Amino acid sequence: MRAAAAAALVLSVLDGSRAAGDPPGAEAAPTAPARVPEVDWSPDEFSGPAYDDWLLGDPFRLVPRARSQVVRRYPRGTPLQGGFPGRRLLLTFDDGPFPETTPRLLEILAREKVHAVFFVVAGRVDETPLRRNGRRMVQQIIAGGHVVGNHSFNHPHLVSLAEEGWRQQIQRAHAAIFSAIDYAPTLFRPPYGHFNGAIDRYLTYRGYTRVHWTYVADEFRGRSPEVMTRGIMEQFAERERLGRNLGGILLLHDSHERSVDCAGVLIRRLKAENCTLLDAGDDDIWRFVDVGEFFQPAGQGGDESTTASSLPAAPAVLEEARRWCEEHAGELDEIRRLDDIQVNINEDGFGSVAGHDPPDEGTTEP
CB 149 within 8 A of CB 176: no
Q: In Å, how far are 19, 215, 225 from 29, measured between CA atoms?
A: 9, 71, 78
pLDDT computed for residue 126 by the predictor:
85
Number of neighbours of residue 253 by Cβ within 10 angstroms: 21
| Higher-pLDDT residue of 290, 56 | 290
pLDDT surpasses 70 at 71: no
H helices of 213-343, in order, are 225-241, 257-279, 315-327, 332-336
Name the 3-class secondary structure at 305: coil
Q: What is the fold of 102-212?
A: TIM Barrel (3.20.20)
| Higher-pLDDT residue of 349, 21 | 349
CA geometry: angle 334, 338, 344, nearest 5 deg: 170
> Residue 358 gets which letter from DSSP?
P
| Higher-pLDDT residue of 281, 1 | 281
Mean pLDDT of 245-255: 94
* Residue 136 host element (H or E): helix 132-143
pLDDT computed for residue 346 by the predictor:
75
Mean pLDDT of 12-39: 41
Residues 153, 126: Cα–Cα separation, whole Å? 9
Mean pLDDT of 95-114: 95
pLDDT computed for residue 318 by the predictor:
98
What does the pLDDT look like over 292-320, one tens digit per residue? 999 998 877 666 665 668 999 999 999 99
pLDDT computed for residue 362 by the predictor:
40
pLDDT computed for residue 226 by the predictor:
93
Domain boundaries, the chain: 102-212, 213-342
Question: What average pLDDT does the structure give for the chain?
Answer: 80
| Higher-pLDDT residue of 224, 9 | 224
